Structure 1
Amino acid sequence: MHQNEFPKVERAFLVGAEVRGTNSVISLQDSLSELALLAETAGMEVVGQTTQTLNSIVPATFIGSGKLEEVQAVIKELEADAVIFDDELSPRHQREISKVFGNDIKLLDRSALILDIFAQHAKTKEGSLQVELAQYEYRLPRLTRQWTHLARQAGGSAAGSGVGGVGLRGPGETQLEVDRREIGRKIDRIKRDLEGVRQHRSQHRQQRRKTGIPVIALVGYTNAGKSTLLNHLTNASVYAQDQLFATLDPTTRRTALPSGRQVLLTDTVGFIQKLPTTLIAAFRATLEETQEASMLLHMVDISHPNVVAHIDVVEDTLAEIDVPSMPRILVWNKIDRWAGDTPPQFPDSDMYREQVCISARTGEGVPELLEAIERVFAQELVRITLQIPFERGDLVSRLYRIGRVLTQESSAEGMILDVEIPKSAQDRYQDFAYENT
């Protein structure tokens, strides 16, 4: 391949705006820095950026008309191919801004950029379906007459859409309706497919509940190191890179705590500020894994200057998807990159049972994390005495996996065990409760 045959890297110019008097989780400049990382993750080269402070967002063009003309001149000078806004643009914003920049400049907002990254990184059928659904739901209200390729891709054409002879609508208008119907059909199909995935996952969770093995969900801001920790603890081979959204598809692996107790670790998609609502909805099937967990490990990058803001973003997103109250451990990761003495303080630290500093990459602090998990689980255990029939050795084995067997002895009717098991599993063994009379 000749050098000039390599695909051209798109040159992106970033635009950020903030409204006076509003409080943002992350400063405008830090948000633009994160947007630059997103653009680089998507394979773009960032060639410049600009910001504007407004009294209110301009209804037609998001930023002021003067600023828009300034951006137009700069992107021409820098030979930029794309302009990326740090906030989600409304359909009207996109339409009016595109008129100014022209069709040769790709116009994106943060939501569209994140969707593009997700599309690149989704590996499984489920992940691809979720991204496809989010993309279509994002595009549907933004359809314009320029989108006539959608229907052609679906096997339709303007000529075959019933225009000829009627004369009631223009061809572009009719084609727009065809595109909308086609996207609507695709959305319905993907939702049906995802419902099948959700039911399949639900069956898996029911099977896991029957085993009584507790599930620990790893949650955190994107690039906090969740996949690296999963790999370290379970010898898994989950893709883990120092970049945003390196992995999307959830992975569940079994591991043992120091006591020998078995647990399941589930890695989940990373969160980010201004995460598109269409994506949160599309990934609900995946995030249900978090809702069904026995414990959350909230991982954060202690070396990141906005780490406290990242904690807030994750907790807000967990609340948005209705994750129930459950024990949480705050895991300050990447201490090998950090020069501080004590972790930062933040207002809601009481919501965490334990806080542990680790390096998932080097393994430093991981034994202390496992001990903290044991302590938290111990707080969730109940002590009961059970009499298990001899022929139910499977129940005895399960008790050793999910809890702590303190004593075991034989009787005429079966094995008598003094055990500590999770409260959630107590009802399952109620029929075997033993009282020494």
Structure 2
Amino acid sequence: MHCIHKIINITQRNLQVFNKVHKRSGILLQNIICRLNHDSEEYLSEEDEKKQNAYVKIISHYLGIAVGGHRTFILQPYIKWGRDKKRNTSPELQMAEAVALINTLPNWCVVGTKYSPLLTLQRKHLLGTGAIENLKKDLRQCSNPTAIFISTNQLKFVQISELEKIFGLPVYDRYSIVIHIFREHAKTAEARLQVAIAEIPYIRKKIFETCITRSGAINVTEETKLLLDSKEKKLKNELKKLQQHRRIIRSHRKKHSFSTVAVVGYTNAGKTSLIKALTDDNSLQPRDKLFATLDTTAHQGILPNRLKILYMDTIGFIQDVPETLIEPFIVTLEDAMIADVIVHIYDVSHPDMKAQYQHVQQTIKPMLDARPIIDVANKCDLVQSDCIPKDAIAVSAKDLTGIDLLRLKIQEILLASTGLLSIRVRVKAGSSAASWLYKMTTVTNTESDPNDVQYLIMEVIATAVDIQKFKKFLKE
């Protein structure tokens, strides 16, 4: 299964912008946005000090410690042939992503790399005897390595244990490295909650697999079992509260007809940069790091027809991580997946673009029903024009190439998919009818009636329900 992630967090600067927007049905758009920000500490577990310290020790022991950093040697295994061989990427491209993951963690660095062609990833020691001896030599030639990162989905814990005995160094797989990145980037209570839930299956499985006796019995204390079970139960209850909160947010957006556009894509594809370009929001500060955006954020934008919409920034996707790492984030991911339009941005200049694009598409399509998707090829300035797929909109979020064209495409699809109508209405200037239209609809243009200057011709965007309400208002 594949990775995704998401959560809503609105900055104070965003709120200052939203303070200026118009009222609709007596509720400020700002108020709806404020509800997206749920940084309440109620989602933080309130365990007593003894249990909390015990749990921290378990995490440190079984997940490893990221604080302080590591001088990391990366081993990139790959299947040479057969059903499990990856055919839309290459070991070299996989290694490049593994290096980027390590460089994302503070104080971690890469001191050596090695490829390992295998027939299977299931062997107890993962590698054959000869490959292990060669790896020992490579490690000795490196400058003081302190950890080994085996860049594969999730190792069996007996493999980790055996390899740590052989090399005398802590061993990490992709699950544990990505978890450490999430922990580093989780700043809100919601993000920390979902990361904490994602840790539990990994820790429990590692405890149980490493505590199996020769007779097959699981030698785990009852105290440890209860500690994990109670921790998981409490976190899941808090996740249910979060889910209920999200439903309330969605119902408010739907009730007041706020259109949303979700921007999704592979990690570091340029989602935040694109939203900054679309909204002219200078408070957004994109970072050139994997999973720089862990919380989902909402930002107001205005389309060419003056319709105000919300752009939803989301956590990025990444290949080759387990399903259990993603499950807790589905609650907040749903906020993006129910958006009126999905914008899938990908880095068209990336060497592994094909695999990254396919990964995102395979992940989101089962969640979307028939929801429209706009493909956006970012960083078009770095490639030849014939490298850009014909069905994608070429943009450069950095220098704003193609941004106006993308706004028009979003506007076109949004009007078609939401049932919004563009109509012309003749009303008396300064009348209560004109005020109603300004308050309850999106007015895109106003001009005097050439036949009678006391009247206005107003072009508005409204739902069918709004039009019926307006007709009823005129009769009152």
Smaller-chain TM-score bracket: 0.7 to 0.9
Aligned partners of 1:397, 1:39: CA distance in 2, in Å? Answer: 51
Specify the alignment match of 1:16 in structure 2.
76
1:212-361 pair list within 5 angstroms: 212-234=257-279, 235=281, 237-319=283-365, 322-336=367-381, 338-345=382-389, 355-361=392-398
Residue matched to 2:23 = none
Helix, strand or coil for the counterpart of 1:244? coil
2:105 and 2:112 map into 1 onto residues whose CA distance is 16
Q: CA deviation at 1:130?
A: 0.8
Q: Structure 1 stretches of 5 or more lacking a match?
A: 1-6, 148-171, 409-414
Deviation of 1:62 after TM superposition, in Å, equals: 2.4
Question: 1:218 and 1:384, CA in 2 relative to 1: closer, same or farther beyond 3 A?
Answer: closer
CA distance in 2, matches of 1:375, 1:126: 34
* Residue pair 1:291, 1:324 contacting (<8 A) in 2 also: no
* 1:89 counterpart = 2:152: no
Please say if residues 25 and 313 of structure 1, whose CA atoms lie closer than 8 Å, have aligned partners that are also in contact: no
Residue 55 (structure 1) shift: 2.3
Give the CA RMSD over aligned residues: 3.3
Change (3 A) 1:239 1:136: farther
Distance 1:33 1:207 in 2: 43
Query: Which residue number in structure 2 is paired with residue 162 of structure 1?
Result: none
> Match for residue 204 of structure 2?
140
State the partner residue of 1:99: 165
Residues 258, 416 of structure 1: alpha-carbon distance in 2 compared, 3 angstrom cutoff:
closer
Pairing partner for 1:42 from 82, 105, 109: 105
CA 1:210–1:343: 2 relative to 1, 3 Å: farther
Say if 2:266 and 2:356, in contact at 8 Å, map to a contact too: yes
Query: 1: CA distance between counterparts of 2:224 and 2:445?
Result: 60
AA aligned opposite 1:399: T
In the alignment, does 2:437 pair up with 1:377? Answer: no
Structure 2 residue runs of 5 or longer lacking an equivalent are 1-66, 212-217, 450-455
Deviation of 1:344 (Å): 3.5
CA shift for structure 1 position 180: 3.0
On the 8 A contact 1:358/1:366 being kept in 2, the answer is yes
TM-score where L is the length of structure 2: 0.72
User: Quick one: which of 160, 182, 186 aligns to 1:122?
Assistant: 186
Displacement of 1:24 in angstroms is 3.7
Which residue is equivalent to 1:53?
117
Whole-Å separation in 1 of the counterparts to 2:348 and 2:240: 37
SS at match of 1:252: strand
Q: Tell me the CA shift for residue 379 of structure 1.
A: 3.1
* 1:72 alignment partner in structure 2: 136
SS of residue in 2 equivalent to 1:18: strand
| Contact 2:261 2:310 survives alignment (8 Å) | yes
Inter-partner Cα distance in structure 1 for 2:420 and 2:275: 28
- How far apart are residue 26 of structure 1 and its match? 2.0
TM-score (norm. length: structure 1)? 0.78
- One-letter identity of the residue aligned with 1:291: M
Residues 68 and 407 of structure 1: is their aligned pair in 2 closer, same or farther, counting only changes over 3 Å?
farther
- Extract structure 1 runs of 4+ deviating beyond 4 A: 144-147, 382-388, 390-396, 403-408, 415-421, 425-434
SS in structure 2 opposite 1:377? Answer: helix
Q: Of the two structures, which has the highest relative contact order with CA contacts closer than 8 Å and spacing of 6 or more? A: 2
- Answer yes or no: is the 8 Å Cα contact 1:14–1:86 preserved in 2: yes
- SS of the residue corresponding to residue 16 of structure 1 reads strand
1:115-136 Cα distance to aligned partner (Å, 9 max, x none): 1101101111101111111112
How far did 1:223 drift? 0.6
Q: Using the alignment, how far apart are the partners of 2:196 and 2:116 within structure 1?
A: 33
Taking the TM superposition and a 5 Å limit, the aligned residue runs for 1:381-392 are 381=419, 383=421
Give the Cα separation in 2 of the matches to 1:278 and 1:58: 20
Residue in 2 aligned with 1:198? 243
C-alpha change, 1:141 and 1:316, in structure 2 (3 Å) is: same
**Amino acid in the other structure paired with 1:266:** M
Distance 1:418 1:231 in 2: 28
Aligned AA (1:269): I
Equivalent positions of 1:417-432 (< 5 A) are 421=462, 426=464
Deviation at 1:355, TM superposition (A): 2.5
Instruction: Using the TM superposition, name which of 213-222 and 128-137 deviates more.
Output: 128-137
Residue 413 of structure 2: SS of its match in structure 1? Answer: helix
Deviation at 1:83, TM superposition (A): 0.7
- Count of matched residue positions in the alignment of Structure 1 and Structure 2: 383
One-letter identity of the residue aligned with 2:383: A
Does the C-alpha gap of structure 1 residues 199 and 428 become closer, same or farther in structure 2, counting only changes over 3 Å? farther
Given that residues 445 and 458 in structure 2 are in contact (C-alpha distance below 8 angstroms), is that contact kept between their aligned partners in structure 1?
no
Q: 1:391 to 1:382 in 2, by over 3 A?
A: closer
